[in-house]
Chains A and B, each alone.
Chain A
Amino acid sequence: MNILRQIWIVSLINFRSIRLRLWRSLVIVVGMACVIGVMLSMLSLTEGMLKAYKDTGDPGRALVVSAGAQSEGNSSIARDKARIIMDAPGIAKAPDGSPMADPGINSGVPVLRLDGRRAYNNLRGFGPRGILLRPEFHLVSGRMFRFGTRELIVGASAKSQFKGMNVGDKVILPDGEWPIVGSFTTGDLLDGQLIGDTETVMKAIRRPAYNSVLVRLSSLNAFDSFKRALTTNPALSVEPMRQSDWYKKISAGFSTFFNVIAYGIAIIMAVGALFGCLNTMYAAVAARGREIATLRALGYSAFPVAASVILEAAALSVAGALIGAGIAWALYDGKLGSFNVNVFKLTVSPALIGMGILWAVAVAVLGGLLPSIRAARRPVVEALRAT
């Protein structure tokens, strides 16, 4: 009889008898559900944040910051330098012939989280071409701020994390209260932020220089010539980056940090689940000792018996992982979360779930291996005699 068929038949017998060992089998299912549930819940934060960063960064746009800047906040670009940057080659032209470029400003604004903890939100400045540069921008309620006026618009997700982020609310800036006149969505990180007119905001927060310049490249390939023009200009000390690369760069630090914690906790829990799995599978093998011996007496070889034990562990473990992933998905996927100043949707992606299943299989193989060897090695006669 072919070996696969043997594995199939032995496994089938195992699975049919699972309901006799229901509670014991549930140890593996519940254990894995806990491991994968916790792991994916934690990773939904990094995954969601990386996705938000990725969505915000458009390879067709380039961001210019001062050399060595680690964030837009600690970059500074003087007005005369910004003019030089906006005249560089490689920038797409607006319908009126002007370059599609917008110098921007970024500032933290002290706010309160919904639970009263202190935090900062990001206030961003848009110039006249701020919207033209971002086709993903849509107003959802109220109206656009007027240029030259002390008015703000707010991203649609901000109110899920911070107090006072609705149309009609007022935000305290150094020169007094600014009303929020509209709400917008871009589908990315800007959805958590406040936006006002760059020049008016700069006056209010007494900032003489811009933070950065955002440009639309005339084509995806235009970046190199744009970059060369800026980096070879002795009057400038700036770092042009594709916007997508910029967000990749600034997200690297926290994602490493967070992954180390999430995987560290997952590894500890998986070890705990592994001992549970070993326990269950040893007991399952002991309970089916006579069955297995009978099969061996009938001519089944040792390998299918061993394989069936691992298969059973894997099936239970994967079932647990799916439950855990389902719980993490139901609790967190699509829910708005926040890390530092950023607001974004937590994400339990299919890739994460796939990884959870792989973890479950790994734990099952490790946890089923020793019991399966015991099952396969047990002398037939002795097992048949056992009660």
Chain B
Amino acid sequence: MRYLPLIWSAVMRKPMRTMLTLLSVTVAFTLFGLMIGLNATFDEVAAKARADRIFTNARFGGNGMPIAVAHQIAAIPGVKVVTAVSGINGYVQDPKNSAFVLMVDENLPKVFGDWGVSQELWDVVQKDRTGIVMSQIQAARWHKKVGDTFTMISKQVKRADGGSTWTFKVLAIGPDFQQNSQGYIFGNYDYIDKAMAPADQGKIGEADLIANDPTTSAELAERIDHAFANSATPLVTITEKMARAGGDFAGLPIKPITRGIALAGMFMVLFLTGNGIAESVRERFAEFATLKTIGFSDRAVTTMVVLEAALPCMIGAGLGVVVAAFLARQIPALMPPNFGIPLPHISPVVIAWAAASAFVVALLSAAMPILRLTRMDIASALSGRT
């Protein structure tokens, strides 16, 4: 602490240099925060994955499966509850404005209770079967409020009368939740299904279920696959834990990519801060010689240089992480709609990593100047011969 005035005057010797270094470090840590924050989100999703939840899809083909499969799965021993998950893809006015209405049966809240959507909201579409519930994000996107009508066009799913226009009444606006950065719209499965053309009726996208015993859910998943292996609809079943474990996004390994980018950002500022501190020490070589002459130990001088390097790094890291947290919240507005990339989460772990990285950058930056200072010949430094 007693070195603080000395360090402060060193840092403020060239305010322009300090400011620019600080800004550059801030930007690098903004990137760092976003990248490592994205990792943190994947880790949290993996940690939050329920051990007893299982996803079942048709093993072959993208056209989903008959709803009968969900009923058959429900009868398999060890299965607590099954929900048929389905939806209509379409667009509003222009094919570019793609929209999706999730079709919900009465079991969905039992399987996805952790979404944090209240039972009353789920019940709304069971009571008034013709309506939908929108999340706040979706309501803002389509400028809808309770009581408005929402009209969507679907080329794939025709109504029973042959039309492709689907009109719903907005019954309620619901809260958003972290797992789904794009928000949601849901309606009544049964009603929407019966409104479809006969050929499209009775189909679901996937069946999701809760196992009675979380410890044997992987084994249950295998049993389900086995039971349907020779049926008309072979399945591929996976526990949520396994599905979320890889940190996988569309086949891209997220962790190595984000870490690589964060590292490139650190390397970029390392050169800048290293150079800055080296110059600052070189300019003040005689001053350091004076300090050593009046009795400052090598350790004291080392501490001063490290702190001088650490000050802009730590402040920049702090600012950068704050900017990253702010930017992360803007991502849904910046991204094209319906691209469900998870949002970076600036968790305490991320902040700790940022602080540690800032300190490492400061140490590496200070290493060379410190080496010079500890080896300096005081007499020649004082006379300005170096």
* Chain A interfacial positions (CB closer than 8 Å to B): 23-24, 26-27, 30-31, 34-35, 37-38, 41-42, 67-71, 73-74, 76, 107-110, 113, 115, 117-119, 173-174, 205-207, 253-254, 256-257, 260-261, 264-265, 268-269, 271-273, 275-276, 278-279, 282-283, 338-341
Known: A118-B238, A256-B336, A257-B339. A31 touches B264 (CB 8 A): no
Query: A73: nearest residue on chain B (CB-CB)?
Result: B62
- Report B-chain residues with C-beta under 8 Å of the C-beta of A74: 62-63, 156
Q: B335–A260 contact, CB under 8 A?
A: yes
Q: Is B271 at the interface (CB under 8 A from chain A)?
A: yes
Q: A23–B24 contact, CB under 8 A?
A: no
With both chains docked as a complex, state the minimum distance between the C-beta of B18 and any C-beta of chain A, in angstroms: 10
Q: B63–A107 contact, CB under 8 A?
A: no
Q: A119-B251, A174-B59, A272-B31 are in contact. List 8 more A-B contacts (CB 8 A).
A: A38-B260, A70-B89, A108-B62, A115-B253, A268-B31, A269-B31, A279-B16, A338-B251
Q: B236–A110 contact, CB under 8 A?
A: yes
How many angstroms from the CA of A356 to the CA of B63 in the assembled complex?
A: 42
Known: A35-B268, A107-B60, A260-B336. A279 touches B21 (CB 8 A): yes
With both chains docked as a complex, state the minimum distance between the C-beta of B257 and any C-beta of chain A, in angstroms: 8
How many angstroms from the CA of A276 to the CA of B269 in the assembled complex?
A: 8
Give the interface segment out of B116-124, B272-280, B350-358: B272-280
Sample of 9 A–B contacts (CB below 8 Å): A24-B279, A30-B268, A174-B229, A253-B336, A257-B339, A257-B341, A276-B269, A339-B251, A340-B250
- Report B-chain residues with C-beta under 8 Å of the C-beta of A282: 16-17, 20
How many angstroms from the CA of A88 to the CA of B335 in the assembled complex?
A: 43
With both chains docked as a complex, state the minimum distance between the C-beta of B236 and any C-beta of chain A, in angstroms: 5
Contact partner of A38 (CB less than 8 A), chosen from B264, B271, B335, B341, is B264
- Report B-chain residues with C-beta under 8 Å of the C-beta of A265: 31, 34, 261
Known: A109-B60, A117-B246. A37 touches B24 (CB 8 A): no
Query: A282: nearest residue on chain B (CB-CB)?
Result: B16
Q: Is B265 at the interface (CB under 8 A from chain A)?
A: yes
With both chains docked as a complex, state the minimum distance between the C-beta of A237 and any C-beta of chain B, in angstroms: 10
Q: B31–A279 contact, CB under 8 A?
A: no
With both chains docked as a complex, state the minimum distance between the C-beta of B331 and any C-beta of chain A, in angstroms: 9
Q: A76–B236 contact, CB under 8 A?
A: no
Q: Which of B241-288 contact A (CB under 8 A)?
A: 242-243, 246, 248, 250-253, 260-261, 264-265, 267-269, 271-272, 275-276, 278-279
The 10 closest A-B pairs by CB, nearest first: A68-B155, A272-B27, A73-B62, A275-B24, A279-B20, A34-B268, A205-B60, A117-B246, A30-B271, A275-B23
Known: A30-B267, A34-B267, A339-B251. A276 touches B336 (CB 8 A): no
Q: B275–A27 contact, CB under 8 A?
A: yes
How many angstroms from the CA of A340 to the CA of B248 in the assembled complex?
A: 10
Q: A273–B62 contact, CB under 8 A?
A: no
Q: B250–A339 contact, CB under 8 A?
A: yes
Known: A68-B155, A205-B61, A268-B27. A276 touches B265 (CB 8 A): no
Query: B20: nearest residue on chain A (CB-CB)?
Result: A279
- Report A-chain residues with C-beta under 8 Å of the C-beta of B140: none
Query: B29: nearest residue on chain A (CB-CB)?
Result: A272
Q: B264–A37 contact, CB under 8 A?
A: yes
Known: A73-B61, A260-B334, A338-B251. A275 touches B278 (CB 8 A): no
Q: Is B30 at the interface (CB under 8 A from chain A)?
A: yes
Residue-wise interface mask of B (1-45) relative to A, using a CB-CB cutoff of 8 A (1 in contact, 0 not)? 000000000000000110011011001101100100000000000
- Give the interface SS of chain A, mostly helix, strand, loop or mixed: helix
Q: A23–B63 contact, CB under 8 A?
A: no
How many angstroms from the CA of A27 to the CA of B246 in the assembled complex?
A: 37
Contact partner of A206 (CB less than 8 A), chosen from B89, B232, B339, is B232
Q: B268–A272 contact, CB under 8 A?
A: yes
Q: Is B234 at the interface (CB under 8 A from chain A)?
A: yes
- Report B-chain residues with C-beta under 8 Å of the C-beta of A109: 60
Q: Which of B24, B243, B261, B341 has the most CB of A within 10 A?
A: B24
- Report A-chain residues with C-beta under 8 Å of the C-beta of B260: 38, 41
Contact partner of B271 (CB less than 8 A), chosen from A26, A206, A253, A341, is A26
With both chains docked as a complex, state the minimum distance between the C-beta of A386 and any C-beta of chain B, in angstroms: 15
- Report B-chain residues with C-beta under 8 Å of the C-beta of A174: 59-60, 229-230, 234
With both chains docked as a complex, state the minimum distance between the C-beta of B322 and any C-beta of chain A, in angstroms: 14
- Report B-chain residues with C-beta under 8 Å of the C-beta of A69: 156
Known: A257-B336, A268-B30. A107 touches B250 (CB 8 A): no
Query: B267: nearest residue on chain A (CB-CB)?
Result: A34
Contact partner of A31 (CB less than 8 A), chosen from B232, B271, B335, is B271
Q: B61–A108 contact, CB under 8 A?
A: yes
Q: B63–A271 contact, CB under 8 A?
A: no
How many angstroms from the CA of A282 to the CA of B261 in the assembled complex?
A: 28
How many angstroms from the CA of A73 to the CA of B60 in the assembled complex?
A: 10
Q: A76–B155 contact, CB under 8 A?
A: no
Contact partner of A269 (CB less than 8 A), chosen from B89, B265, B275, is B265
With both chains docked as a complex, state the minimum distance between the C-beta of A107 and any C-beta of chain B, in angstroms: 5
- Report A-chain residues with C-beta under 8 Å of the C-beta of B156: 68-70, 74
Known: A31-B268, A260-B335, A264-B334. A272 touches B24 (CB 8 A): yes
- Report B-chain residues with C-beta under 8 Å of the C-beta of A107: 60-61
How many angstroms from the CA of A35 to the CA of B248 in the assembled complex?
A: 25
Known: A272-B28, A275-B27. A27 touches B251 (CB 8 A): no
- Report A-chain residues with C-beta under 8 Å of the C-beta of B233: 206
Residue-wise interface mask of B (222-236) relative to A, using a CB-CB cutoff of 8 A (1 in contact, 0 not)? 000000011011101
How many angstroms from the CA of A289 to the CA of B17 in the assembled complex?
A: 17
- Report A-chain residues with C-beta under 8 Å of the C-beta of B23: 275
With both chains docked as a complex, state the minimum distance between the C-beta of A260 and any C-beta of chain B, in angstroms: 6
Query: A23: nearest residue on chain B (CB-CB)?
Result: B275
With both chains docked as a complex, state the minimum distance between the C-beta of A206 and any C-beta of chain B, in angstroms: 6
How many angstroms from the CA of A67 to the CA of B162 in the assembled complex?
A: 14
- Report B-chain residues with C-beta under 8 Å of the C-beta of A260: 334-336
